[in-house]
């Protein structure tokens, strides 16, 4: 009897397999197409890959469990994040189709890197082995570093790529050092095994040190303060669809990783990491919102806003228990929908060479393109947290969980921050509708691909704001399984 | 200390010492007992017997970077073959052909990268070299 | 005893190489010092009984990556570096922070030295065989997935370093 065959259940990594194969086909097809030929079919291929991967993820729900020698864990938690991440990639692909042609960016490599990066992000959510997590983290990070530098004609893009690469690999090194120390302390890198070991023994300096180092690495990836300084510069230079991806996809994956590590492995040490998360949450919300107030560039504004939103998710981390974890999961999904949508609008409005990215350039968008203006309004209202949008329930669940854990101050700071944030989001809406733009700027007809992407993102944002129950149930199930596993 | 497993490395250490000794010895001896005469021609950089022209530090083509980068990547791939070769018989005995196919899949995926760079012409140095070498940074 | 003596000898070589790397003003000289650092790290791994890792350190880092370093230096035609006064931020915040972290690591490792196991000189903690068996079984998936990582690196190198005609 071959002992290995029953460990290898390809269903456990089926979405990743599909995405990898799609990526490989795109990568191989690119050089075989002529230099002048249209690269759009490669985009459709990538899109088909993501849709197939979504179906594969749906199939995974019926076969949960650990496989690949307990490296991969399929449960509601991983399936939920798979849905979120692959949907993000699909919408990013849709908004890239026209953008790439407009900016004359090499499409073949772009889509291949997008798909491979998604493989890494997906594995980050289903891995339960620190080694696997690390390699998945590297795959997702390195793909994004390269994607950030895809505007070859722009010095800002090269700067963005280099800054992201240098600081990012430094942060990953911290994470890896933490992994090495926890292996030294417990003799294993398997997350449930670490949890079991930590629960039985007394806490040593070694485990606390490992925990601290891993938090540094993860906080960088979610751009939580005080590890957020890279965010505005990197977002400013990178191509906008890539920013849409990296402000949501790798971040959702990093939140999943952080949930898995903090609650899965270090659950018994929560009195150690709780204060750290509390401080990081307060700093991220405050610094992010204050920073965003002072920006005139939409990309930089959304970069600071993404720091602030990382802070709100960390509030849910601090709230802990099932309510906190499920709120964090729900928030990640909502944030992904509204943020990827906002960037999709920006990427189309930016024009050739990304010239129109300052807030004033959005003047008169309400007249020039009602579709873009309406959807962007939905995303902005959702980012504020207005009822009937997903952002409302996301914030509501987070603060509810925080109050239930008696974190009054954290809740007060969070709510105050949401109020500050309303200013800069509303400012963009006001500029779009109230301010007259240059009369000579032409109308902006929206191509089908961009419209489809916007429709999906806006639809999901509204759906999460009107009918959040089923998604929340899903998130609660995921949270329950995450907390049960050790 | 008969079971000391660093012992096989003793010849390596000895060889290192001998190599360092010979190198240092040659330099030291010639410095001590050699005659020294300086002339302008003698102090010139040696360039295969020809009169040197220009600066030795001219800019390299960006192609060297790509070659070095690809070398690292395939080097890393080759590194994985070593442990596989070491345990190959055990793998076959314990897991059957699975031990063979897991490496073939791995190599197959990396092979895609080779086909890609081949078709992209990265390793083709004949294509308008002049254009390429000058355009590294602009 | 011998183990400690060897360790301190090699560690001193490593640190000296690293300091020299920072002090040299010509990038090629720094790169050569880096080889010393990499080589002595390989020796340290060997001392710890990690034969396979030591070999990889030599082949990949001291070999392939150093070739890349030297190529890039020649590519950029980098001359002697110019000295700036250095950032005040780095001096007032960076240096104390580094000192604090190093101090913490040293404290934690020494205070836990009783619980951590020791490696005896010449006792192989892991032979290539020991590394290989889990790699192709328990860690099968992480191993296979590194091939995707290699593909990403190939794509990245080609995209960023090569112009499309």
Which ipTM did the prediction report?
0.92
Helix A130-148 vs helix C140-161: angle between axes, to the nearest 10 degrees? 10
Q: Return the number of CB contacts < 8 Å for A and B.
A: 22
Residue B88: per-residue pLDDT: 92
Interface-testing mutation among C157, C159, C160, C163, with chain B (most B C-beta atoms within 10 A) = C157
Helix (H, G, I), strand (E, B) or coil at A69: coil
Q: Nearest CB to B116: which of C64, C133, C154?
A: C154
Q: Which chain B residue shows the shortest CA-CA distance from A155?
A: B138
Q: What is the pLDDT of residue B134?
A: 43
SS3 state of residue A67: strand
Q: Which domain holds residue B82?
A: 62-134
User: Is pLDDT of B133 > 60?
Assistant: no
Ordered domains of chain C (ranges, CATH)? 2-79+87-126 (1.20.120.1200), 127-165 (no CATH)
- Burial readout A459-486 (b: 16 or more C-beta within 10 A, e: otherwise): ebbbebbeebeebbebbbbbbbbbbebb
Mean pLDDT across the stretch B113-131?
79
Q: Which residue(s) pair with C126 in the sheet?
A: C50
Q: With 0-12 CB in 10 A as exposed, 13-18 as middle and 19+ as buried, what is C12? A: exposed
CA distance between the termini of chain B: 62
Q: CA of C85 to nearest chain B CA: how many angstroms apart? A: 28
Alpha-carbon gap, residue A151 to A242, rounded angstroms: 10
Omega before A39 cis (within 30°)? no
* Confidence check: pLDDT of B130 > 60: no
B127 touches A: beta carbon within 8 Å: no
Name the 3-class secondary structure at A10: helix
Inter-residue contact A175 to A137 (CB < 8 Å): yes
- pLDDT value, residue B128: 58
Residues A263-298 pLDDT 10s: 989 988 888 999 999 999 999 999 999 999 999 999
Cβ neighbour number for residue A92 with a 10 Å cutoff: 29
Q: Is residue B112 in some structural domain?
A: yes
Q: Are strands A65-67 and A72-74 parallel, antiparallel or unpaired?
A: antiparallel
pLDDT of the residue at A484: 82
The pLDDT assigned to C111 comes to 83
CB-based contact B65 C153, cutoff 8 Å: no
Domain count within chain B: 1
The helix/strand count (H/E) of chain A reads as 20, 2
Q: For residues A237 and A156, is the Cβ–Cβ distance under 8 A?
A: yes
What's the gap in Å between the CA of B26 and the closest CA on chain C? 21
Residues of B within 8 A of C151 (CB-CB) are: 109-110, 112-113
CB contacts, 8 Å: B71 with chain C: 64, 67-68
CA-to-CA distance for B67 and B72, rounded, in angstroms?
Answer: 9
- pTM for the model stands at 0.92
Across residues B100-119, what is the average pLDDT? 93
Q: What is the mean pLDDT of each run of 10 residues along chain A (486 residues)?
A: 65 94 95 85 95 95 88 93 96 93 89 96 94 96 95 90 94 95 90 90 85 95 92 94 94 95 90 93 95 93 95 93 92 95 91 85 86 93 93 95 92 94 93 79 81 94 94 93 78
C46 pLDDT tier (thresholds 50, 70, 90): confident
Non-local CB neighbours of A254 within 8 Å, separated by 6+ positions: A124, A137, A218, A221, A222
Residue B116 belongs to a domain: yes
Looking at every residue in chain B, the average pLDDT score rounds to 81
d(CA B9, CA C135): 25
Establish if B103 belongs to a structural domain. yes
Residue B52 lies in a domain: no
Decide: A83 and A56 in contact? Cβ < 8 Å: no
In a domain, B90, yes or no: yes
Half-sphere exposure of residue A174: CA atoms within 13 angstroms, side-chain side: 21
Residue in chain A nearest C153 by alpha carbon: A142
Burial label, A392 (beta-carbon count in 10 A; 0-12, 13-18, 19+)? buried
Helix, strand or coil for residue A435?
Answer: coil
Burial class (CB in 10 A: 0-12, 13-18, 19+), B64: middle
């Amino acid at each position: 009897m071959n002992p290995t065959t029953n460990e290898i259940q390809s269903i456990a990594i089926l979405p990743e397999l599909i995405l990898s194969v799609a990526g490989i086909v795109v990568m191989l097809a690119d050089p075989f197409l002529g230099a002048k030929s249209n690269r759009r079919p490669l985009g459709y291929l990538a899109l088909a890959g993501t849709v197939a991967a979504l179906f594969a993820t749906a199939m995974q729900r019926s076969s949960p469990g650990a496989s690949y020698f307990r490296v991969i864990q399929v449960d509601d938690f991983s399936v939920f994040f798979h849905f979120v991440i692959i949907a993000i990639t699909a919408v990013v692909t849709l908004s890239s189709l026209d953008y790439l042609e407009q900016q004359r960016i090499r499409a073949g490599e772009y889509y291949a890197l997008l798909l491979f990066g998604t493989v890494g992000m997906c594995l980050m959510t289903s891995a339960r082995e620190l080694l696997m997590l690390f390699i998945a983290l590297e795959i997702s990070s390195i793909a994004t570093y390269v994607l950030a530098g895809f505007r070859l004609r722009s010095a800002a893009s090269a700067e963005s790529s280099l800054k992201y690469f240098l600081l990012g690999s430094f942060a990953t090194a911290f994470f890896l050092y933490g992994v090495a120390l926890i292996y030294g302390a417990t003799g294993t890198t398997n997350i449930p095994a670490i949890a079991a070991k930590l629960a039985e023994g007394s806490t040593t300096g070694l485990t606390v040190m490992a925990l601290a180092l891993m938090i540094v690495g993860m906080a960088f990836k979610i751009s939580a303060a005080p590890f957020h300084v890279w965010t505005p510069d990197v977002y400013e230079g990178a191509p906008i669809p890539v920013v849409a991806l990296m402000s949501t996809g790798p971040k959702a994956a990093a939140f999943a990783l952080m949930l898995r590590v903090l609650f899965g492995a270090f659950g018994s040490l929560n009195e150690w990491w709780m204060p750290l998360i509390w401080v990081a949450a307060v700093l991220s919300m405050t610094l992010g919102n204050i920073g965003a107030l002072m920006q005139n560039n939409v990309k930089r504004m959304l970069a600071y806003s993404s720091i602030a939103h990382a802070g709100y998710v960390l509030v849910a981390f601090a709230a802990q228990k099932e309510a906190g974890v499920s709120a964090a999961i729900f928030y990640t999904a909502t944030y992904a929908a509204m943020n990827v949508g906002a960037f999709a609008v920006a990427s189309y409005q930016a024009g050739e060479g990304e010239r129109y990215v300052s807030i004033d350039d959005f003047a008169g968008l309400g007249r020039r393109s009602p579709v873009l203006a309406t959807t962007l309004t939905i995303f902005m209202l959702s980012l504020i947290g207005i009822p009937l949008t997903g952002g409302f329930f996301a914030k509501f669940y987070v603060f509810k969980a925080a109050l239930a854990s008696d974190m009054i101050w954290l809740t007060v700071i969070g709510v105050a921050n949401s109020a500050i944030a309303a200013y800069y989001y509303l400012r963009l809406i006001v500029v779009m509708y109230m301010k007259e733009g240059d009369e000579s700027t032409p109308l902006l007809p929206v191509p089908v691909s961009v419209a489809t992407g916007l429709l999906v993102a806006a639809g999901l944002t509204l759906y999460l704001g009107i009918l959040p129950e089923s998604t929340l149930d899903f998130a609660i199930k995921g949270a329950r399984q995450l907390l049960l596993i050790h | 200390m008969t079971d000391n497993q660093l012992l096989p490395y003793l010849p390596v250490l000895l060889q290192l010492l001998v190599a360092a000794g010979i190198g240092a010895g040659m330099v030291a001896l010639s410095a001590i007992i050699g005659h020294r005469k300086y002339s302008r021609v003698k102090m010139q950089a040696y360039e295969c017997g020809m009169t040197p022209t220009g600066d030795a530090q001219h800019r390299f083509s960006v192609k060297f970077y790509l070659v070095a980068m690809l070398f690292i990547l395939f080097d890393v791939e080759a590194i994985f073959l070593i442990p596989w070769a070491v345990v190959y018989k055990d793998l076959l005995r314990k897991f059957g052909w699975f031990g063979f196919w897991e490496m073939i899949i791995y190599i197959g995926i990396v092979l895609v990268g080779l086909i890609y760079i081949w078709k992209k012409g990265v390793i083709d140095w004949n294509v308008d070299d002049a254009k390429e070498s000058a355009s590294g940074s602009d | 005893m011998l183990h400690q003596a060897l360790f301190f000898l090699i560690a001193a070589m490593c640190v000296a190489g690293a300091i020299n790397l920072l002090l040299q003003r010509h990038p090629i000289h720094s790169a050569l010092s880096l080889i010393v650092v990499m080589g002595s790290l390989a020796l340290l791994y060997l001392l710890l009984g990690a034969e396979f890792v030591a070999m990889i350190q030599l082949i990949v880092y001291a070999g392939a990556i150093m070739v890349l370093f030297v190529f890039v230096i020649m590519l950029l035609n980098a001359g002697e570096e110019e000295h700036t006064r250095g950032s005040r931020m780095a001096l007032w915040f960076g240096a104390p922070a580094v000192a604090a972290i190093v101090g913490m690591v040293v404290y934690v490792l020494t205070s836990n030295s009783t619980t951590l196991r020791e490696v005896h000189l010449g006792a192989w903690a892991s032979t290539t065989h020991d590394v290989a068996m889990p790699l192709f079984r328990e860690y099968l998936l992480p191993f296979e997935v590194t091939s995707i990582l290699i593909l990403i690196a190939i794509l990245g190198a080609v995209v960023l370093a090569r112009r499309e005609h």
